[in-house]
Amino acid sequence: MLADRIKEASALASRIGQTIKCRCSAQLSRLDANTDAKDTWQQVRQLTRRSQSCSIVPDNITAQSLNDHYASVSTDESHIPSSLKHTCSSPPTTDISEIEVFRILDHLHHTSTGLDNIPAWFLRLGAALFSRPLAYLFSRSISTATVPCQWKRAFNVPIA
């Protein structure tokens, strides 16, 4: 079951990567042969800018298909809500802001995927969409002085 989900996520990541590659190639191929190097590099920088939002979405990937995929991956029948811990003197009053989470996601380094199989490049591309709900989850965790048990899991693989 998990292997099927990993294959689905891998196929989705591959399709997204291929679409991005094709769109970038198409845009660069429109450059005229007489275009000087400065204009060419300006076009390359414009295509590779991380903070630039891109509204190009493949036809076969919809919000519903992404929602269905992540809903199926994130369900956990063994979820047990954490009880409020009274060992904290008082929870911090400052919330984690959406812009803080956006900046962190936007500057993620290339790493291997975690237990959720979400690659860093996907989180960087979707930073504008993911920052609000993640900021809410982090702030909620701090304000209630609890950490969901799913956040405490780790899967460590030694590298030989």
pLDDT value for 158: 65
Report the C-alpha gap between 24 and 80 in whole angstroms: 45
Q: Residues 126-139: pLDDT tens digits?
A: 888 889 999 998 88
User: Are residue 93 and residue 149 in the same domain, yes or no?
Assistant: yes
User: Are residue 92 and residue 124 in the same domain, yes or no?
Assistant: yes
Q: Residues 53-108: pLDDT tens digits?
A: 445 666 677 777 777 777 777 767 776 666 656 665 555 566 789 999 999 998 88
Q: Show which of 75, 94, 125 is a domain's final residue.
A: 75
Q: Residues 2-51: pLDDT tens digits?
A: 677 778 878 888 888 888 787 777 777 777 767 777 777 777 777 766 44
User: Are residue 56 and residue 98 in the same domain, yes or no?
Assistant: no
Q: How many domains does the chain have?
A: 2
Specify the pTM: 0.41
Q: Show which of 39, 54, 75 is a domain's final residue.
A: 75
Q: Show which of 25, 42, 75 is a domain's final residue.
A: 75
Write out the residue range of the structural domain in which residue 23 sits.
1-75
pLDDT value for 12: 83
User: Are residue 64 and residue 95 in the same domain, yes or no?
Assistant: no
Residue 100 CB burial class (10 angstroms; 0-12, 13-18, ≥19): middle
